[in-house]
Amino acid sequence: MNNRVFIVHGWSGRPDEHWLPWLKQQLEQRGFEVNVPLMSRDDEPVIEKWVDRLEAVVGNLDEHTYFVGHSIGCQTIMRYLEKHSDKKVGGCVFVAGWFILENLEDEETELVAEPWMKTPIDFSKILKTTQKFSVFISDNDDFGAVEENKQMFEQKLNAKVIVMHNMGHFTEGDGVTELPQVLDELLEYSHE
């Protein structure tokens, strides 16, 4: 059975930016089947549309299926897994994941972000799909709430949270085009 990895980009993101192409290439060289879908309406992400898009791409879930999310992509994955609590997956690695955002540019952005921050997530359902969660966050993330998000990932998902130094929101603008730590986590999950 082939190991499959689905990488979900962030808000206003694309599959071909930041560290996503590097990770895809690294995983493919190791025999993984990797899919980095372009999510719908990425300028104004809507929970249902992003979850539906991921659902359409993933198809059948099994323990050889892994997920990597960047920023809002992490939320998309959690909300997707919540709907599939009767299935098992191999694990999830989240980068710049959040439940709370601060320092949003304007009121319009706040309105788009609000449902993502306020719509409840049933973590007990997500935990039925896997116990393997690793989260990378940066001590200088532009969107703040670093300690609050760290605690929530630890409390809600019993996640392994790694706080990295000076990585911002893990974008090319922050100088992040490779993330070997994410690759290492995935390889560890797939070999357990």
Q: What is the pLDDT of residue 48?
A: 96
Q: What is the pLDDT of residue 1?
A: 67
- Please state, for a pLDDT cut of 90, what percent of the chain lies above it: 94
Q: Which domain holds residue 71?
A: 4-191
Residue 192 has pLDDT above 80, yes or no: no
Domain CATH code at residue 86? 3.40.50.1820
CA angle 93, 94, 98 (to 5 degrees): 155
| pLDDT band (50, 70, 90) for residue 40 | confident
- Please state, for a pLDDT cut of 70, what percent of the chain lies above it: 98
CA proximity to 181, closest of 118, 93, 85:
93
| Dihedral over alpha carbons 113, 114, 120, 125 (to 10 degrees) | -10
Q: Scanning the structure block, which residue is given the tokens 């990597």?
A: 68
Q: Count of domains in the chain?
A: 1
pLDDT digits (tens, 9 = 90+) for 76-93: 999 999 999 999 999 999
- Cα distances from 117 to residues 64, 79, 101, 110, in angstroms, run 30, 12, 8, 10
pLDDT digits (tens, 9 = 90+) for 111-165: 999 999 999 999 999 999 999 999 999 999 999 999 999 999 999 999 999 999 9
Residue 12 has pLDDT above 70, yes or no: yes
State the average pLDDT for the chain: 96
Q: What is the pLDDT of residue 168?
A: 97
Q: What is the pLDDT of residue 185?
A: 97
pLDDT digits (tens, 9 = 90+) for 65-77: 999 999 999 999 9
Residue 42 has pLDDT above 80, yes or no: no
Residue 22 has pLDDT above 90, yes or no: yes
CB 50 within 8 A of CB 22: no
